[in-house]
Amino acid sequence: MKQLFTLALVLALPFFSFKANSQTFDQPVEYLDFISGEYQELTKQMWKYTKAIAHGKSDRNIERRREKLVEMMEESIEKIKKADSYNEENDFKEKIINNLQVNKSLMNNEYDKVVDMKAVAQQSYDKMEAYMLAQEMADQKMEETQKDYEKYFNQYAEKYDITINEQESDLGKKMRISGEVFSHYNDTYLIFFKSNMNESYLMEALATGDVSAIQQSANALKSSAEEGLAQLDTLTAYKNDRALINSTKKALEFYLEEVTKHVPTLTNFLIVNEDFETIKKNLDNTPKKKRTKEMVDAYNNKVKEMNKGVNEYNNTNNLLNQKRQKYITQINQTTDQYLDKHIPND
C-alpha cells in the first residue's frame, strides 16, 4: 500500500506534518521530512529578504538579513552532509546539497550585487533599469532552484512509492503574486523615472542659466513624457488596478505642461536678465557725461522689464514647485497603497 502524504510547496518546496524522532531514517518518508524541515525556515527568510529589498527597507537591515540567510544555508548544508541518507542512497542527498549551494551562491553574488546596484540606481535611468533587471534575474534564478528541488523531491518520492498530493503553499503563492505585482510596478516606475531624470537635468540647466542646455533638456523631457504617455496606454493594469498608471500619467502630463507652458517664461527671463547685465555693464563703464539719452532709456526700460520678469519668474517657479511636489507625493502614496494592497503579508 502506498504511503499518502500531502505536499505543501514552500516556494515550490515540500514539508510534512510527520515529525522524525531521530536522524536514523528507518523510512524514506522520514528522510523527506528531515530535508523539507531544513528548507521550510530558509524559504520563509528568503521571502522576507526579497520583500525587504523590493519595499526599499534600509540597506543595513537588508545586509543583515542576507548575512543571516547565508549562515542558515551553511548550517543546513552541514547538517544534511552529516546526516545519514536513507538506505545509504546519496544521490538525492547530493542533489539537495548542490541545490542549497546554488541558493547560497545567489545570496553571496547575485543578490549582493542587487543591493550594490540599488544604492546607485537613482543616479541615472540606465542604472535604475539595470538594477530592476538584475533583481528580476536573481528572483528568476531562485525560482529555478526551487523547481529543481521539487523535481528531485518528486523523483525520490516516486522511487519509494510515496504518493504526493501537490498543492500550492502559502509561501509559493506569495512569491508568485509578488512577482506579478512588482512586474507592473517596475513597468510604470521606469516610465516615470525616465522623465523624472530628464526634469532633474532641466532643473540643473535652469540653475546655471544656460539657455542652450535648458532648451536641450526641455526637448528631452517633452520627448520622454510623450513617449511615456504612449507606453502607459499599452500597459495592462494588475488586477484592473489602474492606480499606478493613473498617477504616472498625471506626473507626465505635468512635465508636458512644464516644458510647453512654463519653461518659456523662465527662459525668457534669463534672456532678459542677460540683456540687462550687458546694458548695465555698458552704462557703468561709460562716464556720466558721455552717457546718451538712448543708453539711459534702454537701461530704464530694461529695469522695468526685469521687475516684471522677476515676478513672473518667481510666480512660475513657485507654481511648478507646488505642482511637482503634489504629483511626486501622489506617486509615492499610490505606490505604497498599491504594494500594501497587493503584496501578501508575512
Per-residue confidence band for 24, with pLDDT thresholds at 50, 70 and 90: low
3 state DSSP class of 9: strand
Residue 248 pLDDT > 80, yes or no?
Answer: yes
Give exposure, 224-236, as e/b (b: 16+ Cβ within 10 Å).
bbeebbebbeeee
- What number is the average pLDDT over the span 84-88? 87
3 state DSSP class of 164: strand
Q: From CA 320, how far away is CA 310, in angstroms rounded?
A: 15
> Nine-digit cell at 277?
547685465
CA-to-CA dists, residue 23 to 30, 150, 166, 199, 232, angstroms: 8, 22, 25, 62, 56
Per-residue confidence band for 57, with pLDDT thresholds at 50, 70 and 90: low
> Nine-digit cell at 309?
520678469
Q: What is the pLDDT of residue 87?
A: 84
pTM equals: 0.79
Per-residue confidence band for 17, with pLDDT thresholds at 50, 70 and 90: very low
How many Cα atoms within 13 Å fall on the side-chain side of residue 4? 2
Per-residue confidence band for 115, with pLDDT thresholds at 50, 70 and 90: confident
User: What proportion of the chain, given as a percentage, has pLDDT over 90?
Assistant: 50
Give exposure, 101-122, as e/b (b: 16+ Cβ within 10 Å).
ebbbebbeebbbebbebbeebe
Q: What is the pLDDT of residue 55?
A: 67
The mean pLDDT of the chain is 86
Q: What is the pLDDT of residues 170-210, one digit of tens each?
A: 666 777 788 889 899 999 999 999 999 999 999 999 999 99
Q: From CA 31, how far away is CA 26, in angstroms rounded?
A: 8
Q: What is the pLDDT of residue 21?
A: 40
